[in-house]
Structure 1
């Protein structure tokens, strides 16, 4: 972002971003103007309720850390995540695949790249309806004293290769599921999380779910199959799934195909029962033939408008490629 743009007052900047978002599009991107509701978010991260004091390191007492068992690849960035539910509320889990969060819920995700704390993203439920979410990224000041809302995003933030997304880009991913929340779900939390992080058992024990499940949900298959299915769920399922909510306006990415990489709690009996196998086997991947699989080809390169994932990454995930190659290589041909 230019020095001129950074110097603009907060609400003037919001108008600038809304206008710029309309012309920053390509064949794969329909950038929605930044909603005016984003302007109501605090200008400083220190005012969002994440941290307990001015140290900007210790989360508030009502802020809880969590970590999904299948993380999203973000070009090697280290991430920390937190959630805060309004006091006395619970998550609506009647649809176990698509949790609905109470109004006032806030989630934060912090990115550190090459040892530099670069940004912290805020996602807030601003109203009673499933689509009533708003989001913005806060870019950290060089001295680490605070982070400032940056609705226009920022390339190569704080001297790193990390690109901070604009507020208009956030729902290119988050708009792809009825929940709008990624990484905090029944499947993602069904494991023994670190001691300082929430998992599904903690949520049940704390009576934070309206319809608590009787047990955790286990991704089927051997270690390689589970890891591959989880990887695709986390990195591809928010765009490639057949339960994408309808939208009354443009989104930053609208895939139009039959692929479905999102895991479902009711389709975990075997690997072959998952939407991934049902929708992509023989089309996106060829059992036993990773070199002939479109999936492997598209995640092994970074070519604008063609490589996958299309959004949020500029660096090939070598470990992810190796995992999917092994998974396809070991898959039995019919």
Structure 2
């Protein structure tokens, strides 16, 4: 079944652009690292809520990147008179001056302890009025991606305990938290806010030029409906109507990744979408992991490039003594789910961005491998 993230129209209804008219205009900082998130005036705390400024447009992804079960609020803002240009496969071509934000937060656990956060995919209590309801959620961090003349800059901010302001965290941060499940099962973990160099290592999708680029706002990831105040609309068409996107073709010509939780989609489409957003920014022909020969973006053909019967490029603890990245029909003999299931440095994949195991995601990849026909015995 689809997750509550997609099932609650209230989510989008309450995340409208132009929500907080009392804020100063959004500030584009052409250089430097402003010490406070509020220096940007993109999102700010007012009246117990995290508010969006005028012209700040929220968006969502068909399949989001997993980050320790954190919920996320994504926004984009562009200077007046500018527009992004459509691209069928790469990130939308955003103009200089664009500010993208991503706020990571958790629903508060029922026991009310500040370090306890709920492990769920239910967004129904996150919002009140025009923004995030701080009575029900705990803000963790907000990451800013700003497009300057010399390229994109990634700037992390960490929210204070009072939940009033987020401050610059160029060297990152480690926050001890406890995930509390619906069954009250508890899992202690360290939430890691990446430092600037780690942000850059993930966002440099092309390891040749090593330039930072946004990962999420690609046409295939945001080609989905969103429930706005005046009704449901496709996000790409909505951006085009606002003047934030030019060159958009008919939606029938726009690629679309599946929602990994949508059981109406094929198992293959769901698994490929999951690997695309979680792994494809490194595991692509030009990415940081291109020397592995394993490419996991959605355009990879289903052959050895995708890992099917492909031996690893290097032996060691990362293989778990398995012979191939993917063994059709045998997930427990495959390296890919082994690494996704690990929290051990040198073994776990992705290497950054999580301290916990995404159990539901691993189950999806295992089911996908179990359903694959064929065998690797003949080439072992």
TM-score (norm 2): 0.66
User: Would the aligned equivalents of 1:38 and 1:134 in 2 still touch at CA under 8 Å?
Assistant: no
Query: What is the root-mean-square deviation in Å for CA atoms of aligned residues?
Result: 2.7
What is the Cα deviation at residue 38 of structure 1?
9.8
CA distance in 2, matches of 1:158, 1:300: 20
2:141 maps to 1:119: yes
8 Å Cα contact 2:329-2:371 kept in structure 1? yes
Closer, same or farther: CA 312–219 of 1 in aligned 2, 3 Å: closer
Aligned position for 1:102? 95
- 1:25-46 deviation line (CA, Å, top 9, x unaligned): xxxxxxxxxxxx9971321111
Q: Distance in 1 between matches of 2:213 and 2:302?
A: 20
Q: Distance in 1 between matches of 2:92 and 2:302?
A: 21
Instruction: Note the alpha carbon deviations across 1:88-141, whole angstroms, 9 max, x for none.
Output: 1111225642422111111111111414211111111111x5xx1111211111
Q: Residue in 2 aligned with 1:20?
A: none
Gaps of 5+ in 1: 1-36, 245-252, 265-273
**Distance in structure 2 (CA, Å) of the matches to 1:52 and 1:60:** 8
Q: Which residue of 2 aligns with 1:259?
A: 294
Matches of 2:95 and 2:88 in 1, distance apart? Answer: 14
Q: Say if 2:255 is the partner of 1:217.
A: yes
| Other-structure match for 2:224 | 191
Q: Please say if residues 89 and 219 of structure 2, whose CA atoms lie closer than 8 Å, have aligned partners that are also in contact.
A: yes
Residue 255 of structure 1: CA displacement?
5.2
Q: What SS class does the counterpart of residue 320 from structure 1 fall into?
A: helix
Alignment correspondent of 1:168: 197
2:273 maps to which residue?
Answer: 230
The structure with more helix, counted as a fraction of residues = 1
Q: 1:325 is paired with a residue of what secondary structure?
A: helix
Whether the 8 Å CA contact 2:342–2:348 is kept in 1: the answer is: yes
Encode CA deviations 1:190-247: one digit per residue, 9 max, x unaligned.
1223437972222234443332122232448943212111100110011100133xxx
Aligned positions of 1:300-311 closer than 5 A = 300-311=341-352
Secondary structure of 2:244's counterpart equals: coil
Distance in 1, matches of 2:79 and 2:281, equals: 26
Give secondary structure in 2 for the equivalent of 1:161: strand
**Is the 2:329–2:374 contact (alpha carbons within 8 Å) kept by the matching residues of 1?**
yes
CA contact (8 A) 1:98 1:179 kept: no
Counterpart position of 2:240: 204
Q: Can you list the C-alpha shifts for 1:158-200, whole angstroms capped at 9, x where unaligned?
A: 8973111111210111112477111111000112234379722
Q: How does 1:1-334 map to 2 (within 5 A)?
A: 40-51=32-43, 54-55=46-47, 57-94=50-87, 96-113=89-106, 114=117, 115-127=137-149, 132-156=151-175, 161-177=190-206, 180-195=213-228, 199-215=235-251, 216-219=254-257, 222-244=265-287, 256-264=291-299, 274-275=300-301, 277=303, 279-280=305-306, 281-283=308-310, 284-333=325-374
Taking the aligned partners of 1:325 and 1:222, their CA distance within structure 2 comes to 17
Instruction: State whether residues 65 and 198 of structure 1, in contact with CA within 8 Å, keep that contact through their aligned partners in structure 2.
Output: no
| Contact kept? 1:261, 1:275, Cα under 8 Å | no
Higher strand share: 2
Aligned-partner Cα distance in 1 for 2:365–2:302: 13
Counterpart CA distance in 1 for 2:153 and 2:302 is 30
TM-score (structure 1 length as normaliser): 0.75
